[in-house]
Amino acid sequence: MDQIANLVIDLGIDAAEFKNEIPRIKNLLNGAASDAERSSARMQRFMERQTQAARQTTQAASSAATAASVHAQTVEKNAQAHERMAREVEKTRQRMEALSQKMREEQAQAMALAEAQDKAAAAFYRQIDSVKTGQCGAAGITAYSAADPTGQKQWRDWSAGLSGADF
């Protein structure tokens, strides 16, 4: 290229000499044209690579944005599922608490009933024991009658007397 720039064409030279210089000038110009074509081809390849890289970067950014969107949706769905699960757990806890309270109440009722049954059984056994020991014989009736000179006591009072109650 430097040779072309430094080329000075002297038009005053003779034709024979000019004819000898033409192949050299032609080679220089062809070399310059070839260099320009190679440079142009390199520039074209460079632009194609840059365009392809830009396209790939755009696609990668688009893919990343899509993946981020999908991830955000997945996180949102998981959060909603966890919230539903938390509500269900709370409802279950409340039902368990209500059931536990009901069981405590029923247990208290059962204990009161068992205590009443124990008292009734004890009274029944006292009556049986008093019959066995003869407290309800003639002496028992005499004591019962003496305890009620007016005759106002009823059979339930007699039963209570047999169970050990004082007349």
Q: Summarize the confidence of residues 31-37 as an average pLDDT.
A: 89
Please tell me whether the overall predicted TM-score, pTM, comes out greater than 0.75 for this model.
no
Number of domains in the chain: 2
> What is the extent of the structural domain holding 23?
2-133
Tell me which of 41 and 6 has the higher pLDDT: 41
Q: In which region does residue 106 sit, left (phi positive, over 0), alpha (psi from -120 to 50) or beta (all else)?
A: alpha
- 140 and 165 Cβ atoms separated by less than 8 Å: no
**Same-domain status, 33 and 79:** yes
pLDDT reading at 166 higher than 70: no
Residue 154 three-state SS: coil
**Same-domain status, 144 and 128:** no
Q: In the chain, where does DSSP find H-type helix? A: 2-5, 15-133, 138-147, 155-162
What's the rounded Cα separation, in Å, for the pair 142 and 135?
10
